[in-house]
A and B are shown apart, each in its own frame.
Chain A
Amino acid sequence: MLFRRIYQFLIVYIIGILLLLMIKTGLSLSDYVIPGVALIVETAGEVTKEYFFDVLNTLSVAVLGQALSIALAFTIGIAGRKSSWVGSFIKVTAYNIQAYPIVALAPIIFILLGDGFITRLLIASMICYFPLLLSVLGIMATPVEDIEHFYNVTGRMRWQLEVKIRAFENLSKLTTVISGSATLAMAGTIVGEFIAANAGIGYSIRIALYQSDLAKILVALFMIGIIISIYQGFLETIGEQIKTKWSISNGGEVL
């Protein structure tokens, strides 16, 4: 799982670099516009260590923001799973807010809170929260009729059991959604750092942008890609382990 993610990223990254080099060669562009391989390697040697810690800094905010989003999405998703007016209200609100590009609200947060950690965290959380909420709502609001019927007709159904049944039946979907939201959280944090931060890889990319240094940006993209691949692979592995443990520890077999 982990290595597959890294391979996939490396393939995409190498294809991207090759395309840039083809454009550079085809249009006879200078190293100032598109750097050559030698310059990219030289820049990597200079900034890799710094960017590595910058990406870790960004990732820490993204992870925190994602954790917040997951907790909030599950709380609201579970509360809104019923077809009561509260549930309908939550669903309609979530669908409507989802339709709006949340990233456009980032400047408001910057104006209200200034730059720094909280702003990055909030933007990261907001960007990955709504897609997560919609998925959790969709899963939690859909009855697993062939399992739930018995508990409903015998009066044994409790909300905890209902949530457990629906989560268990959709464990693969939930794992995919959560690992997918890691990318959104990372994107949200980087966007936050572009406009409102004094640390993180987004901030470093902004500086490289002002310097028109594409080599630095390419190195930053490489670091982001590798680290987010490792993080996503890690989340997927945890998801697989939860699935396996959930069945084995209860006298079952591997799913």
Chain B
Amino acid sequence: MRLECNNLNFTYPGSRIAVINNLSFSMKNPGFNSLFGPSGVGKTSLAKMIANSNFKSNSDIVTEEIDTILYSYNLERLPGWSSTGKHLNKVTSPENQSLKEQLIEIFELNDVLDSRFSKLSMGQQNRMNLIRYLMQDFDLLIMDESLANVDEKLRETIILAIKELFSDKMFLYISHNLMEVSKFCSQILVFGKSPEKKECFVIEGQDCKKGYLLDKKLLDMTMLEIMNAF
């Protein structure tokens, strides 16, 4: 499994400033990887380009053993005409039903399955949205701030569960939480701050898994490395 970008450039129509400028990186193997950087540096634009099949057709973005790429983001909504539980059932195949039940338990959403989406808190909405994506057939799932507004403890539980249950899939996690990204991600693509001097680095994260014993020194080093890459 491989995701690679070769000298990727992108400028929005009508704009003179390139959002993505000569970007090259490679991420290999299944696991939890991340796109990290300040707002407006092109993380979402890159994610959308990776998910867009038109970009995969040229040589700028190369994928190997990645056929289905899904892009999820934190402002998505479920339709309001029926309960979230019913919506989840509709988009889950029969063979994934038990996995769905398991995820609902882990994501702590059992109590809101009878409620409509608009009645959920923002954190619950994001968790509900993420579950339905996890129930789909995918090789690479891009999670664009998909766990925003979820409390830290539950976020950790969710990330560890996803890493365990979907160990053969690749994830691209977009987050602004430095500690979380350093701790749980395998490869972190760090975007530079200034658009003119925009350089990107891939930094190895701690890739902690369930039952991990954290080496704080190594975590501090990863975090420092990321901060220095800005």
Contact = CB atoms under 8 A, between A and B. Distances in A.
Interface in A217-255: 246-247, 250-253, 255
B77 interface: yes
Contacts of B77: 146-147
B114 A147 contact: no
A247 B79 contact: no
Interface stretch (A72-80, A149-157, A192-200): A149-157
Contacts of A149: 71, 73, 76
Contacts of B76: 146-147, 149-150
For this complex, into which size category does the number of interface residues on chain B fall? 20 to 34
A247 B91 contact: no
B78 A153 contact: no
Contact of A150 (B81, B83, B116, B132): B132
B51 A156 contact: no
Contacts of B78: 147
24 contacts: A146-B75, A146-B76, A146-B77, A147-B78, A150-B72, A150-B91, A150-B132, A153-B71, A154-B91, A154-B136, A164-B81, A168-B79, A168-B80, A169-B80, A247-B80, A250-B81, A250-B86, A251-B83, A251-B85, A251-B86, A251-B114, A252-B116, A253-B115, A255-B80
Nearest to B86: A251
Interface string B78-116: 111111011000010000000000000000000000111
Contacts of B116: 247, 251-253
A186 B78 CA distance: 39
A149 B79 CA distance: 11
- Residue with the highest number of chain B CB atoms closer than 10 Å, among A153, A164, A168, A246: A153
A118 B44 CA distance: 58
Interface string A79-118: 0000000000000000000000000000000000000000
Contacts of A21: none
B28 interface: no
Contacts, number: 54
B4 to A, nearest CB: 22
- Residue with the highest number of chain A CB atoms closer than 10 Å, among B75, B76, B79: B79
Interface in A175-224: none
Nearest to A151: B91
- Residue with the highest number of chain B CB atoms closer than 10 Å, among A147, A150, A156: A150
Given A154-B136, A164-B79, 19 more contacts: A146-B75, A147-B79, A150-B72, A150-B129, A153-B70, A153-B71, A154-B70, A156-B91, A164-B81, A165-B79, A169-B80, A250-B82, A251-B114, A251-B116, A252-B80, A252-B82, A252-B115, A252-B116, A253-B119
Contacts of B119: 253
A134 B186 CA distance: 52
Nearest to A252: B116
A153 B51 contact: yes
A250 B72 CA distance: 26
Contacts of B80: 168-169, 247, 252, 255
B133 interface: yes
A247 B70 contact: no
Contacts of B81: 164, 168, 246-247, 250, 252
B149 to A, nearest CB: 15
